[in-house]
Structures are given as structure tokens and as C-alpha cells.
């Protein structure tokens, strides 16, 4: 979090890049933006992500206030991840990135590049 705050003093784009440039970050945020999701479901959706990597990335996103982690008092324990209030503000950005990716794919396939 400190890294993002230091960047805030320099450039807002650096803040975005510091939060979003992890290998799994955008994929995780996209999956979580679809609704609350459990750890193993995320692991399946993002295969071949390593369990340790996924746990670390989720912890980082939680520290950055982008997601929430809810532990339900059940046996076995149930944990769900969801976008936080702050995290929901990135939903339109994720949708636009998805649309851009689709347009890019269509353009490339039409031009044969």
C-alpha cells in the first residue's frame, strides 16, 4: 500500500499501474467483479495459478482495499472474496478493457496480422 501512496504523490497513472500490473491482478478482479467467489473457485478459473501465488495476490488486493474477504462461521470454514466499495469503482474500467480486447481480436483476425 505504501508503494501506491508514494506513487500518488507523483502521478495518478502510477497508482493505477502499481495496483493493476501484477500477472494475475486484472484476471482476479474480473472474476471477483462477477460476484462473490470462493478461493478454490478462483483457483479453478485462473488455472494454472499456484495456490501460494493466488493467496498472496488476494492478500495484496485486500490490503489495497480493492476486495473484501468474508469468513463465515461454518464447518468447514467458508471464505468468500468480493469487490469492496472502492473495488466496485473499477468495474466500468474492467468492462471497457474486455470490450477493447474483443475489438482488438476482431480487428486482428480480419486483417490477418
User: What gap in Å lies between CA 1 and CA 4, rounded to an integer?
Assistant: 5
Tens of pLDDT, residue by residue, the chain (113 residues): 555 556 456 788 888 888 998 899 999 999 999 999 999 999 999 999 999 999 999 999 999 999 999 999 998 889 999 999 999 999 999 999 999 999 999 999 988 76
Q: Are 57 and 28 in contact (CB under 8 A)?
A: yes
Q: Which domain holds residue 34?
A: 2-111
For 55-103, the DSSP string reads HHHHHHHHHTTSEEEEEES-SS-EEEEEE-HHHHTTHHHHHHHHHHHHH
Cis before 6 (ω within 30): no
Here the CATH number for the domain that contains residue 68 is 1.10.10.10
Q: How many domains does the chain have?
A: 1
Amino acid at each position: 500500500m505504501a508503494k501506491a501512496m508514494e506513487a500518488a504523490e507523483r502521478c495518478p497513472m502510477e497508482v493505477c499501474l502499481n495496483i493493476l500490473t501484477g500477472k494475475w491482478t486484472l484476471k482476479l478482479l474480473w472474476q471477483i467483479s462477477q460476484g462473490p467467489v470462493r478461493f478454490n473457485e478462483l483457483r479453478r478459473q485462473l488455472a494454472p495459478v499456484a495456490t501460494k501465488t493466488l493467496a498472496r495476490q488476494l492478500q495484496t488486493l485486500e490490503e489495497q482495499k480493492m476486495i473484501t474477504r468474508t469468513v463465515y462461521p461454518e464447518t468447514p470454514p467458508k471464505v468468500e472474496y468480493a469487490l469492496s466499495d472502492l473495488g466496485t469503482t473499477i468495474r466500468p474500467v474492467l468492462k471497457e478493457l474486455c470490450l477493447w480486447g474483443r475489438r482488438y481480436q476482431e480487428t486482428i483476425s480480419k486483417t490477418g496480422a
